[in-house]
Amino acid sequence: MRRGLIMVYTGDGKGKTTAALGLALRAVGQGQRVLIIQFMKGSPQYGEIKAAAYLPGLTVVQKGLPTFVKKGDPAPEDVRLAREGLELAKEAITSGEYDLVILDEINVAVDYGLLREEDVLVLMASKPERVNLVLTGRYASAGIVERADMVSEVREVKHHFRQGIPSQAGIEY
C-alpha cells in the first residue's frame, strides 16, 4: 500500500504551478492517473490544457472564469465555480479513480474568500491513504501548512516581469 502524501507549493516566486505539473508528468509516466483542478483559471490557452489531449491518464479541469477575481469582492460566479471545484475534488479523491489530485491555486481561492479554509481542511482529512494530494498557490494558510506532509516555498529572487517582459506561451501559460 502506497503512503500517499499531502504536498503544498506556496510562496511569492514563479514555479508553484509548474512544480505541480512536473509531478503530474512524472506520475503519468509511472502509469498513474492524474486529475488537475485549476481554481480561479478559465482560459483554454494554458499549455497544460492542450498537453492533456496528448497524455492518457492526465485530466485537467478548470473551475474559474478567464477574468481576474477581485480580492475582497469576488463575483458570485467566482465563488460558485470554486465551490464546484472543491466538490469535484472531494469526489475525485475518494473515487479511487485517481492516484494524484492537484488543486492548483486553491490556496489563493481560500485567501480570496472563495473557499473556507475549514472546508479545505476537511477535504485534506478525508484523503484516502493511497492518494497523493497537491495544493498550490501563494498565501497557503497556517492550517493547510500544518496538516501537509511536505511544504515547499518558492521565493522570488528575481522575476522577468520586473523587466517588463510580458507573459509568454510555454512560460506563463
Residue 47 binds to ligand ATP (criterion: CB under 6 A): no
Answer with the entry of Mg ion, ligand ATP, none that 154 interacts with (C-beta below 5 to 8 A by kind): ligand ATP
CA–CA distance, 10 with 13 (Å, rounded to integer): 8
Q: Least Å distance between CB 137 and ligand ATP?
A: 6
Report the residue from 163, 167, 168, 170 that binds ligand ATP according to the rule CB under 6 A.
Answer: 167
b (16+ CB within 10 A) / e for 94-124: eeeebbbbbbbbbbbbbbbebbeeeebbebb
**CA dist 26 to 30, 31, 95, 102, 118, Å?**
7, 9, 22, 13, 30
Binding mask 84-113 for ligand ATP (x = CB under 6 A): ---------------------x--------
Answer with the entry of Mg ion, ligand ATP, none that 18 interacts with (C-beta below 5 to 8 A by kind): ligand ATP
Q: Which residues bind Mg ion (CB under 5 A)?
A: 16-17
